[in-house]
Amino acid sequence: MPHIVLVSGSLRVGSTSDRIATWCAEQCSAHGATTRVFTGAELDFPFYRPGLSEGHPGIREFLRELRRSDGVVLISPTYHGSVSGLLKNALDYVNDLAGPRIFLDGRTIGCVAIGTGTQGTVSTLGTLRTISHALRGWPTPLGVVVTQASPFDATGTAGDAHCRGQLLEMIAQVLSMSERQTVPVPASVGAP
């Protein structure tokens, strides 16, 4: 079964980003996947510098989990029409992932943008997808925009039916695409 890493881009304890990450992880686990959630507080890393990850246990753990992942779900609040600096800084450390699968090569990436209006969240979603491509990942066909203060009811369940349906579809795509991953084709194949 696939291993899915869920990454929240908000430092606020109990943030909507953290709650969505946890809820999505529960849905992945219910379908047999293993998961690891990184809350925003766990991503409070120093600004990215090449090589810094070697001496920082939190960054090493983050990169270790990403390295073994089959899929990733990125969840960001919308700050001024883009992703949070916290999430962007954490993703900058992916530069330190080396080996046969550099960056997030070939991994399925689900994207969730959270905000109070559609214009900023749609822009944030586009940025998450662009970053995913730049890291050599494969964003799911469906990205999710959450435009309400809290999509959860008092029990912690995704209360809004539309939001819940969108998140469940995105999770299904992450799981399905992660299970179908293929081994990367060496650069020499097909070369003249």
- For residue 159, the model assigns a pLDDT of 61
- For residue 150, the model assigns a pLDDT of 58
Which CATH topology does 3-179 take? Rossmann fold (3.40.50)
- For residue 190, the model assigns a pLDDT of 42
Reported as a single tens digit per residue, the pLDDT across 41-56 is: 999 999 999 989 999 9
Number of H helices, E strands in the chain: 5, 6
Strands (E) in 41-143, as ranges, are 71-77, 108-114, 138-139
User: What is the domain partition of the chain in residue ranges?
Assistant: 3-179
- For residue 185, the model assigns a pLDDT of 40
Token digits of residue 161:
């039916």
- CA-to-CA separations, 172 to 8, 64, 92, in angstroms, rounded: 19, 24, 27
Stretches in the chain below the pLDDT threshold 70: 149-159, 181-192
CB 17, CB 8: distance < 8 Å:
yes
- For residue 182, the model assigns a pLDDT of 44
